[in-house]
């Protein structure tokens, strides 16, 4: 009997609530008190976690990169020295120096050398490595002086040529003209680039003749 009575009471209560609502006198019961929400430490997941992880890796890489280049940034930079006025820089695997080609103020070999020395250099020493460059340069810059003095001479005409730096210039140097050097005259003790010899191949010639010249100045 108790169970049907409980149902009857619940039914009456329900009818009473519906009736009160229909007549505008229904009042909502007070809202339930919210339970405290437990605080859980944030752990990024999914896409957000991926971005944060990428950012961390990027930051580490950036720091490593800066550490690797820092010594280079702090190292004093090498400043390329400027060549004196009238000189040009020659810089290849063959060497690095300033040079000046004089094609109008013709001089004897000794006077040409004295001019180069007064400018802080000397006559150009012939080299297998860069001879062609200056051979071509002479063709492109012809002036009043037909031929060009180089930094080499001998005390035994036709033999044992040495540079102004004391280095031997071998007889099998590839830019000697055919049949050169020759001991035809005792005065032919200085090196030149001769135009009529296959466009400025090397020759030994009379040191007193006034010609063009190339100065070489190391930097």
Q: Which helix (H) or strand (E) holds 64?
A: helix 46-74
Q: Is there a domain that residue 37 lies in?
A: no
Q: Is the pLDDT of residue 202 over 90?
A: yes
The continuous run of DSSP H or E covering 216 comes out as strand 211-218
Contacts of 216 (CB under 8 A, 6+ apart): 97, 98, 99, 116, 121, 122, 123, 124, 125, 151
Q: Is residue 192 part of a domain?
A: yes
Asked if residue 41 is part of any domain, the answer here is no
* Residues ≥6 apart with Cβ < 8 Å to 160: 154, 168
Query: Domain for residue 136, yes or no?
Result: yes
Q: Is residue 172 part of a domain?
A: yes
Residue 106 lies in a domain: yes
- Domain membership of residue 119 as a residue range: 90-218
pLDDT of residue 6: 45
* 62, part of any domain: no
CB 187: neighbour CB atoms within 10 A? 13
**Which has the closest alpha carbon to 179: 162, 163, 197, 191?**
197
pLDDT (mean) for 56-60: 70
> pTM (2 decimals)?
0.63
pLDDT in the model for residue 41: 54
Q: Check whether 158 has a pLDDT greater than 50.
A: yes
As for how many domains the chain has, the answer is: 1
Does residue 72 belong to any structural domain of this protein?
Answer: no
Closest by CA position to 126, among listed 162, 102, 88: 162
Mean per-residue pLDDT, 138-166: 92
pLDDT in tens, 77-126: 544 568 999 999 999 999 999 999 999 999 999 999 999 999 999 999 99
pLDDT tens profile 79-92: 456 899 999 999 99
For every residue of 193-210, DSSP letters joined together read EETTTTTTEEEEE-TTS-
Q: What CATH number is attached to the domain comprising 214?
A: 3.10.100.10
């Amino acid at each position: 009997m108790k169970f049907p009575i409980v149902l009857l009471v619940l039914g009456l209560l329900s009818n009473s609530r519906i009736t009160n609502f229909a007549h505008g006198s229904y009042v909502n019961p007070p809202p339930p008190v919210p339970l405290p929400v437990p605080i859980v430490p944030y752990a990024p997941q999914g896409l957000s976690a991926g971005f944060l992880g990428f950012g961390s890796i990027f930051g580490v890489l950036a720091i490593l990169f800066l550490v690797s280049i820092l010594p280079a940034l702090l190292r004093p930079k090498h400043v390329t020295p400027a060549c004196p006025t009238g000189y040009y820089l020659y810089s290849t695997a063959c060497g690095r120096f300033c040079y000046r080609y004089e094609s109008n103020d013709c001089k004897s070999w000794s006077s040409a050398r004295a001019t180069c020395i007064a400018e802080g250099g000397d006559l150009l020493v012939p080299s297998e490595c860069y001879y062609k460059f200056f051979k071509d340069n002479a063709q492109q810059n012809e002036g009043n002086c037909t031929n060009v003095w180089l930094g080499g001479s001998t005390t035994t005409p036709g033999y044992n040529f040495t540079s102004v730096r004391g280095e031997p210039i071998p007889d099998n140097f590839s830019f000697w003209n055919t049949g050169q050097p020759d001991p035809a005259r005792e005065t032919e003790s200085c090196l030149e680039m001769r135009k009529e010899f296959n466009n400025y191949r090397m020759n030994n010639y009379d040191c007193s003749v006034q010609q063009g010249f190339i100065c070489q100045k190391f930097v």
